Every structure is written in C-alpha cells, then in structure tokens.
Structure 1
Amino acid sequence: MKSSLKNRILFCLLVTALPLLVVSCLFFDNIIQPESALVDSEVEITAQLRVAPETNGEGRLVFAMLAPKAWNLKENATLLLTTTDYANQGHSEIVNETLTPMPDTETDPKNGMAWSASFASVIGMGGNDGSVEMEWIVWRSSTIFDIWDKKTVDGVEQKLPNVHANVKIRFTTGATPVKCELGYSYCYDTYGLQRDDQRFAEAFKPFETYEQVFTTSPSVFRYGDIFAITFSPGSTDLKGASEVYLCGTAVHDGGQRTEVTTAGDKNRMSVSGSRFEKYIYPKDFFGLPSDAVIEELSFYFTNADGTIVVKDDENGGEGFFVGQSAE
C-alpha cells in the first residue's frame, strides 16, 4: 500500500531484540471517513483493523484518535468494537462492545507516560501545523484478546489466519470550522508504543468542517407544512449579530408576490448554539389566506435595522430558494 502524509498507514516491524521472531503485526486495512462535514453535525467513521498473528499474545485493545481538542471526544464520542473472525482463535465474536476512555492514571508500559502523551510523543501530530489545537484521545476494550499464531489439529500444526475487527466511531463536530488531519492508532495495552519494537498501527487522513449558511428541515416537506429554516452566520456579514430576522418572498396564486422585509417579533429567529433557527408555516408567515396556493418561496436574513442583509451569493445575490420536497 502506498504511503503518504495525507493517508499514511504504517505497519509493525521485526523485533530488533529477537531478530528471528516476528511479532503480531497490526494493520489498518481501511479508514472509512468522510473528507468533510458540517459544523455541529454527527460524523460516523469505521476503522477496519487486521491482526496478522506471528506469535502468541494477549492484551486489551487500546484505540486512539487524534482530533481537535474543542470537540471533546472523550465525552462526545462513542466507539463500538466488532470482530469478524475472532472465532478462528476459538473465541466468541465480539459484537458492538463499547470502548471506554482510558483512565488518566494508566500509563504506557513502554515509556511510563500517560497514554495520550505517549501517542503524541511516539506517533506525533501528523500533518497538523498547530493552527488547530489537537489532542490524542485514548480508549480501551474490556475484552482481553488472546491471539494465537498456530494450533495443532490431528497432530498437524496449522497456521491461524488473520483476525479482523471494525471500530465504529460516532461523534459530533464542533461549532467552529476547522481543517486538520485526523489520526488513528491502536495497540495492545500489554505492549504499548515503541518505534524500534513496533506493535501498533497508525493512519492519518485529512478532514475539514464547514458552515452551510442556509438549511431547511425536515428533509421532506411541502409548502403547506411547518418546517424549519436554519441560518449559520459565521462566514457572513451577520457574524456576531445578537439578533437575526428572517425575511423573504412568497410567489402565489398565479404569480402574485407577498414579501416580509422588516424586522419584528414574528420573524425574529431563535438562537440555537452557533446558529439561528425559525419554524414557519408559510401561509401564516406571509399573512396569506388559507386557500392561497404558494408557487415559490425564497428567504434572506437581516439584522434588526435592516442595514446588513445576507442573501444567496451562489444564486446571484437573490434569496435562498426553498423548493417543495418529493413526497
């Protein structure tokens, strides 16, 4: 597999103290990770692990991830471990075992450091340049894995196949857009981290979060439904505004136009974290009669006195168009 800074997979080496003996090699077969995601959104990543047993060994799985410190993954992330062929070792498969945060008092047996500090010292911070504060977060399994390289069947010694597992990671990104490299690593708690006696795998992949200025929810709705409009001001002229108002135009009943253009209690948006949100029933929002037929909706955002206006730059500075969803 080709190695690069943007997607680096490193494998374990021969034990230098025992040149004739190969230890169990740990690999990442793949890291299934999106390259980008919205701020304040849920992300799911799957790390595909492979252990190629070369000697007998046991220990709990130690899994670590390098991520922006602001995401607080120790509290914010859920990691589930599932094996696919641990039964070849004569054990029951592990299904959705929750990995738990490594206690702060536990240390790497190779160097005596706290585990997070050990990952930072031995593996480093990837291609991150310091513009985003990063940290290694460490979890471990409750299962003590017992890996054997050979077994004897009817007097014949047989080589045992690789053991595979998936770690499914779920977390919510932070409120501020970032561009970084996420890092991944795993080892056994009985071995720890050491370059010249390497029994761990590592990988780095690029990732960035961004703000989508305008969104609607739910994913399916009609003009006759109640739905939400969400505005993320961080990359707009309304960044830092304490109040934001929803304005817009309804085209209805054969091309008639009705507009909301000034700030008021009815169109003031609610604060939702780093965003603003407003649930609307279009006919009520635009003051239309109950039998009106809405043909088109578009929206924009202003401050209280209307001196700052945010429209859709990608649509020639017009309002953000809202189309009906397919039923």
Structure 2
Amino acid sequence: MVLACCGPVIISIVQPDTAVVGSTASITVRVNLSTVGGGGPDFFIFGFLVPKGWNASKNTTITYTSNIGDGVMQLIPNTTLAKNGGGLNWPDYMKKTFGIGGNLIDDMEWVAYQTDKAYPHNNNTITGDLNIKIKVGADNNNTLVKLGYVVTDSGNGFTSDGNGTYFSFKMMPCFQLTGGTGDVVDFCNPQLTTINPPKSLDNDFVTLTFDGTIVPTVLTGAANVYLCATAYTNDGKSITICDQSDKTKMAQLPAGSNRYQITFWPRSYFGISDSQTITRMEYFLTDKSGAAKVGYGNTAAPFLYTFKCS
C-alpha cells in the first residue's frame, strides 16, 4: 500500500481465494482519496491485472459507491493517452510501470477503467468502494494467478512529487480457478517447462524451455537432454517423435546452467500433411538413453500443451 496526501490509496481488497470456471467472482476494492483545493476536476482511474484468456473487458462490470455519489466505471478506450504516460494509453502505461506483478507467464493484461463522472478537489476526503463482478475463466483453463489492482487519477497518472504519491498499487496472493477442461495454467509457481508464446497455433514457431534448476530431477546434471513428444491431430491421428537425435536435442544455455531450450515449427517438426492440424501435444524430457524421463510436476505423467490462439 502507498500512502499519499493527495492521491488515491487502496485501503483494502476483498477477493475470494478460489472460483469455478464460468462463475462470476465478486471483488470489492476500498479506496480513500484526499484532495487539495484548486485542482481537478479529474476522473478516477482503475486498473485490473488479469489473464488475457479471461477476456475481462467483455466479462467484467464495475460499479462504485462513494460519499460524493455512486456510478459506473467505464472502459477507457485504447486511443486515450494517459497523463504522464509518455505517449502510452492507460493499459500500456500500467504494463510499463507495474509489469505483470510477479506473475511468471507474460500472458497477462491490464484493463483500464475510469469513473463516469469527474470529481472536484475541495480539500475533502473521498471514500468509496469499487464493486467488481467478473466472469472468470473464459478460456476454460484451470488457473493459478495473482490479480493486480492500481488506482490513480486522470490528472496525475503514476507520479510522485513533494506533495505525495498519486497512485496506489497492490497485488493479491494466488487466486485458484478450478472446474475447467482446458490446460492448467500456473502463473504463480516456477515451472519445469514453459512454452513461448504461451498461446500459439501449430503454424507458429515455439520455444520450449526446461528449467532443471527448479527442483532436482533424474535429468539433473545430464550432459544432454532431448524432447520426446507426441502430436495429436484434428483427424484423430497421433505422431510421436521420441528419438535421441540432433533434431530433438535441446541446447543448454549457457553451458552448465541446467537450463535447456529448443525452438521448432510444429507442422514441420511432426511432418503433418496440409490437411491436418495439430490440436495438442504431450511431451517428456529424456536423457541420451531415453530411460531417464521427466514429466509434468516431476512425475511420469506427460506435460500437456494445447495449440490455440486465445
């Protein structure tokens, strides 16, 4: 929490710990705002950090209640430039300033809102609640994620001066979403493997990274690590590439780091026909012999990746 004489301060956030995919989660953000005379009127600005797959701009409504009146928070158009944002719009300004808030997968977005009415600066203290209703899990994925919140006003942005700090930023502990049929997406905890970009189709180049420093595995200290993968296609076929060859060998970057990486074009890698599409991939990491194998969560179960663009 950031205390300020002249800017909004997030006093508290009431957010559930868990929710079910497709349900509506209710969140309350309580804010205080001390004003000084001679400024404004300004709009109150709110930013919400959520997974892109939730499509929050279409699945969220926010109302506010305050001691100077009630109303509705409105999405800020991406064409609106943020005050002191260096030519950026509000979502991009939030991303530049606060990043993805400690989440480990860069598949998050800031969604920006403002009050439907401007407020005056009359040496008064404004108190209010933001009442958020969000339908969670539009991508149907079970998810662990840290949701983020930031408030400021349209006249200052994310600045500080001799009078105080004109914004307040807060991240919450991991929120768990269950009941989905898609992949498990864990933004909170370091993963043995990651695929970049997080969302892709079989016609995109993808980079798969294995981080052997997360926990000890049967591949710890292995001189060479290989990808053993099976692609599943839209016509019900499966194609397995699991030989220990130059094609499947992962580069250790840098040498001795116990971090390995391979970049490939799935359509070419698995040799599918023009009429086929890869819908998902299951994979392991192996040593040169193929006997030592690492799967999801350091178990014998395969890692899973679904090819999709959203």
Q: How does 1:45-194 map to 2 (within 5 A)?
A: 45-58=27-40, 59-83=42-66, 85-86=67-68, 94-95=69-70, 97-110=71-84, 111-130=86-105, 133-149=107-123, 160=124, 162-174=125-137, 175-194=140-159
**Structure 1 residues 61 and 39, CA gap change in structure 2 (3 angstroms):** same
Q: Distance in 2 between matches of 1:187 and 1:235?
A: 35
Deviations 1:238-262 (A, max 9, x none): xx9xxxxxxxxxxxxxxxxxxxxxx
SS of the equivalent of 1:10 reads: coil
Contact residue 63 and residue 131 of structure 2 kept, 8 A = yes
TM, length-normalised to structure 1: 0.51
Structure 1 regions of 5+ residues with no counterpart?
1-8, 13-22, 87-93, 150-159, 213-231, 241-327
Larger radius of gyration: 1
Which amino acid in 2 is paired with 1:145? Y
Q: Would the aligned equivalents of 1:44 and 1:171 in 2 still touch at CA under 8 Å?
A: yes
Coordinate RMSD, CA, aligned: 2.4
Aligned length: 180
CA distance in 1, matches of 2:60, 2:175: 17
**Would you say 1:24 and 2:6 are equivalent positions?**
yes
Amino acid aligned to 1:123:
F
The match for 1:3 is none
CA deviation map 1:188-221 (0-9, x unaligned) = 1121123567311111102433334xxxxxxxxx
SS in 1 for 2:118: strand
Distance 1:210 1:115, change over 3 A: closer
Give the corresponding residue for 1:11.
3
Q: Percent identity?
A: 22
Aligned residue number for residue 39 of structure 1: 21
Counterpart AA for 2:165? Q
**1:109–1:191 contact (8 Å) kept in structure 2:** yes
Map of 2:201 onto structure 1:
none
**Number of the residue aligned with 2:251:** none
Instruction: Describe the SS at the equivalent of 2:142.
Output: coil
AA matched with 1:49: V
Tell me: CA distance 1:234–1:191, structure 2 relative to 1, closer, same or farther (3 Å): closer
Runs of 4+ that moved beyond 4 A: 232-236
Cα distance change on mapping 1:106 and 1:37 into 2, 3 Å: same
- For the 8 Å contact 1:34–1:207, the answer to whether it is kept is no
Paired AA for residue 189 in structure 1: S
Quote the offset at 1:112 in angstroms: 1.8
2:36–2:121 CA contact under 8 A, matched in 1: no
Q: Specify every segment of 5 or more residues in structure 2 that has no aligned partner in the other structure, as ranges.
A: 185-231, 233-310
SS at match of 2:117: strand
* Counterpart-to-counterpart distance in 2, 1:118 and 1:233: 34
Say which SS state the counterpart of residue 118 (structure 1) adopts: helix
Per-residue deviation, residues 23-72 of structure 1 (Å, max 9, x unmatched): 51321110010111111211000100101234543201111100001111
Q: Is the 8 A contact 1:60 1:141 kept in 2?
A: yes
**Aligned with 1:205 (options 168, 172, 186):** 172
Query: What SS is found at the alignment partner of 1:128?
Result: coil
Partners of 1:70 and 1:233 lie apart in 2 by: 14
2 CA distance for matches of 1:113 and 1:210?
Answer: 32
Give 1:125 deviation, angstroms: 1.8
Alpha-carbon distance change, 163 to 114 in structure 1, aligned in 2, over 3 angstroms: same
